[in-house]
Amino acid sequence: MSVKQVDVVVVGAGAAGMMAAATAGQRGRSVLLLDHAAKLAEKIRISGGGRCNFTNLDARPECYLSENPHYVKSALARYTQHDFIKLVERYGLGYHEKTLGQLFCDDGSQAIIDMLKAEVDAGGAIWRMETAIEAVTAVEGGGFVVQTGKETWQCQSLIVASGGLSIPQIGATAWGYELARQFGLGIVPTTAALVPLTFQPQDLWTELAGVAIDPAEVRSGKGKFREAILFTHRGVSGPAILQISSYWQAGQPISINLLPDVDLQEHFANASREAHLVTVLAEVLPRSFATVLVNSLGPNAPLKQYTPKQLSVLIERIQHWQIIPSGTVGYKKAEVTRGGVDTRQLDSKTMMAKAVPGLFFIGEVVDVTGWLGGYNFQWAWSSGYAAGSFA
Ligand code: FDA
């Protein structure tokens, strides 16, 4: 089999891979972009409920989790949210801010895929979809040989943009981690993140399924978020819970303040002493939730029948509710993967492995996890641009 030559091979034509291929190609590098999937960038297509929350106006290093928190700084500073917004505007795509700086496409996420594909094509990259890699070997003196089922390619730079483990049904694989290990790089243990949490026993939650509380304040470890939560048949979801899931460690509690903006002491003091407790609570909480809460204490009675101590216990439960999740719903429903290729072994300016010249890791495959709200795509664009600039 003849060996074809390119300057750069990019593995994974998702968000980060397309950005890297476009950037390297437009610098005049010859690029091969390959992906094992049949359909291009499925994760972008399903993102943001089909409208792709493509960046966040407030993207900054503090919005990312990593064992090496400073790692993201350089790439985020050199390709910012405003650079991506300019690209979106250059293509004339409509967008809007939904909430908290989150920018979404007006007309669906396919527009972002088409834009990135056009950018890759502008750089002249060679495409290979439905192409799996059989082997990667280092060439003595520099570079790599990448063997696919049908072809053998030799390149100076290999950019790994194969993503994380979430949503295996649309093509997520552990290939990037395996390649990192093959070249002696460490992996920060991976877990599902931006994911609903589950609780035991499930019957308590079944009664609450469908109830939303907005806002709630949720804390775990160093994380603290004030957004909506949603009870499900298996536990809790909603933006505040997805956010906290990235900070939560198995076995640790999460603490929820269901009424961060209400002084409950005062609310009880101002309420009619004849009103039933559920009625008083239903003024500030969903009635179904108030009912379950009061039932867990005993029969629903007029306020005057509760002692101050009993009301204090209730307030404590509502504002400092401590629960230990039994787990998460897993990678099938997780937006991202926490952990990945250890960034302490990568150069933060170029994304290249310090000990393996020419080998780059970008996007979700590395140990960088953004908050919910467009931060993960911004990392894909910024890290893709960084690697594409140096590969
Ligand atoms: P990405 O997953 O995009 O691409 C990896 C590519 O590599 C895929 O095309 C895959 O087929 C390919 N690949 C994998 N293994 C391979 C192999 N062995 N050989 C060849 N190719 C291989 N983020 C955000 O900022 N805003 C949002 O609105 C959302 N919404 C959202 C919704 C849902 C349901 C999910 C699951 C995720 C999100 N995200 C998000 C997260 C975001 O999608 C994610 O962080 C980025 O897509 C990561 O970009 P990457 O390019 O690293 O991986």
Closest CA to 364 of 166, 198, 210: 166
d(CA 41, CA 23): 17
CA of 159 to the centre of ligand 1 (A): 15
Q: Where are the alpha helices (DSSP H) in the chain?
A: 15-26, 42-46, 72-78, 81-90, 110-122, 175-182, 202-208, 239-245, 264-270, 277-281, 287-295, 308-319, 375-390
* Ligand 1 pocket, residue 162 CB under 6 Å: yes
Write down the pLDDT at residue 203.
61
**Ligand 1 atom nearest residue 173's Cα:** 15
Kindly report the number of other CB atoms within 10 A of residue 105's CB atom.
22
Q: In degrees rounded to 5, what are phi and psi of residue 12?
A: 110, 105
ipTM: 0.99
Query: Which helix (H) or strand (E) is 364 found in, with range?
Result: none
pLDDT in tens, the chain (391 residues): 799 999 999 999 999 999 999 999 999 999 999 999 999 999 999 999 999 999 999 999 999 999 999 999 999 999 999 999 999 999 999 999 999 999 999 999 999 999 999 999 999 999 999 999 999 999 999 999 999 999 999 999 999 999 999 999 898 999 999 999 999 999 999 999 999 999 887 666 678 899 999 999 999 999 999 999 999 988 999 999 999 999 999 999 999 999 999 999 999 999 999 999 999 999 999 999 999 888 877 899 999 999 999 999 999 999 999 989 999 999 999 999 999 999 999 999 999 999 999 999 999 999 999 999 999 999 999 999 999 999 9
* Ligand 1 pocket, residue 167 CB under 6 Å: yes
Q: Hey, which of 36, 39, 40, 43 would you mutate to test ligand 1's pocket, going by the most ligand atoms within 8 Å of its Cβ?
A: 43
* Ligand 1 pocket, residue 17 CB under 6 Å: yes
d(CA 161, CA 8): 13
* Ligand 1 pocket, residue 117 CB under 6 Å: no
Q: Which amino acid is at 48?
A: G
Q: In degrees rounded to 5, what are phi and psi of residue 230?
A: -135, 125
pTM across the whole model: 0.97
Output the six-digit token pair for 41. 């960038």
CA of 39 to the centre of ligand 1 (A): 13
Helical axes 110-122 vs 81-90, angle rounded to 10°: 90
* Ligand 1 pocket, residue 159 CB under 6 Å: no
d(CA 133, CA 41): 18
**Ligand 1 atom nearest residue 162's Cα:** 7
**Ligand 1 atom nearest residue 133's Cα:** 19
Residue 330's Cβ-count burial label (10 Å; 0-12, 13-18, 19+) is: middle
Write down the pLDDT at residue 293.
85
323, HSE (Cβ side, Cα atoms, 13 Å): 23
Kindly report the number of other CB atoms within 10 A of residue 377's CB atom.
29
**Ligand 1 atom nearest residue 132's Cα:** 19
d(CA 156, CA 391): 8
SS3 labels along 231-269: ECCCEEECHHHHHHHCCCCCCCCEEEECCCCCCHHHHHH
Q: In degrees rounded to 5, what are phi and psi of residue 96?
A: -150, 155
Residue nearest to atom 3 of ligand 1 (CA): 14
* Domains of the chain (ranges, CATH numbers): 3-190+339-390 (3.50.50.60), 197-328 (2.40.30.10)
φ/ψ bin of 192: left (φ > 0), alpha (ψ from -120 to 50), beta (otherwise): beta
